[in-house]
Amino acid sequence: MLQDLPTVASTDYMKMYAEQIRAYVPSKHYHVLGTDGFGRSDSRANLREHFEVDERYVVVAASPQLAKEGTVENKVVAEAITKFGFKCRSY
């Protein structure tokens, strides 16, 4: 069952820190959020927001995979993006 669910690993450290456990996490959809080693003098909460690794980014990173799998409706992805005030870029 776990292999079908998306997994988002979020760390205050380099992305490679979370990449080390990829082989041990039974998930087809493994996404890493990390700071890539940039340190700053601020609170952990502010740093997580600055480096886009806080709980809001975890939700927005996981929700598209959950929608692809049919676990949530597509509108949940858009609602999460709107709720957290993220700006979407079109490429």
Structure tokens at 40: 């700053």
DSSP H helical segments within the chain, as ranges? 15-19, 44-50, 55-68, 74-83
Chain centroid to Cα 8, Å, comes to 5
The CATH code belonging to domain 2-83 is 3.40.50.920
pLDDT digits (tens, 9 = 90+) for 1-43: 567 788 888 887 788 888 998 889 888 889 898 877 666 667 7
pTM over 0.95: no
Q: What are the Cα distances from residue 29, in Å, to 1, 8, 17, 24? A: 13, 8, 17, 13
